[in-house]
Structure 1
Amino acid sequence: MPTHSEILNATPIAADAVVAQAKSMFDQGYRLVTMSVVDLGDGNVDIFYHYDLNNEMTHFRLTHPKDKPVPSISPVYFAALLVENESRDHFNLQFDGLVLDFNRTLYLDEEITSTISAPFCKISTIQKKD
């Protein structure tokens, strides 16, 4: 059975090459579609960078320790700040060079972030009757 990286046909990339690769993609006219994060359950995450040019998708996969900062591509693709902040909210990832850091409050308010740790918000929307 193929792994998620084989299904996406993602090219592996090292952390020290992420920003240079983003700059290369930008210079070639690619748009950043989004980034996806997969928790591998062993202290690492796979971060997928999805780019598009003329309806052809190109993917890169960074396997990275969850407790080490990830190079931010937001200085190259400004809109990446949204998905990088979202990844911080959900997976508690840190990004070096993030142009605007919401400090885990992009989607979650301070009351929630001070009492709940990442990953994922675990507050139920179902109210119990007394």
Structure 2
Amino acid sequence: FHDEGFRLVQICCSREGEGFELTYSFDKNLVMSHLRIPANQNTPVPSISRIYLASFVYENEIADLFGIPFAGIAVDYKGTFIRTSVPHPFGTPQIEVVKRRPDETGGKA
């Protein structure tokens, strides 16, 4: 994309089945092109920050929020770019079952 004159518009991460999908959006002459790749929390995704420096912002954000590792980020915050109360809040959901006694519901169903 870079060699053809495209500029990076955004990188988005979304859940896809048991894993994730990264969408890279590029623009050239007001025409958008998208590249979608599967990702998971166990396999590092090659960084594009050596080609598109601004991508380090998206890559650090995705690493911090989703837990998806990137290999070779030009500016790597190593998990401190976005501070959250829990690690990787948008990553693989952790389900916690809480059992309550009937009297704890205040009589409501």
Please list the CA deviations of residues 65-93 of structure 1 after superposition, one character each: whole Å capped at 9, or x if unmatched: 22110010001000000000000111011
What CA distance in whole angstroms lies between the structure 2 residues aligned with 1:80 and 1:69?
A: 15
Q: Which has the higher helix share?
A: 1
Residue aligning to 1:93 = 68
Out of 107, 118, 130, the residue aligned to residue 88 of structure 2 is 118
The CA RMSD over aligned residues, in Å, is 1.3
What displacement does 1:41 show?
A: 4.4
TM-score if structure 2 supplies the norm length? 0.76
Q: Distance in 1 between matches of 2:86 and 2:51?
A: 32
Cα shift readout 1:87-123 (whole Å, capped 9, x = no counterpart): 0111011101111111121121xxx5xx622134xxx
- For 2:29 and 2:82, the matched residues in 1 are separated by 32
AA in 1 matched with 2:87: S
Larger Rg: 2
Structure 1 consecutive aligned stretches of length 4 or more whose deviation exceeds 2 Å: none
**Residue equivalent to 1:30:** 6
Identity of aligned pairs, percent?
A: 34
AA aligned opposite 1:26: H
Alignment partner of 1:53 is 2:35: no
Q: SS at 1:48's partner residue?
A: strand
Q: How many aligned residue pairs are there?
A: 90
Residue ranges of structure 2 left out of the alignment (5+ in a row): 91-109
* Counterparts of 1:67 and 1:41, CA distance in 2: 15
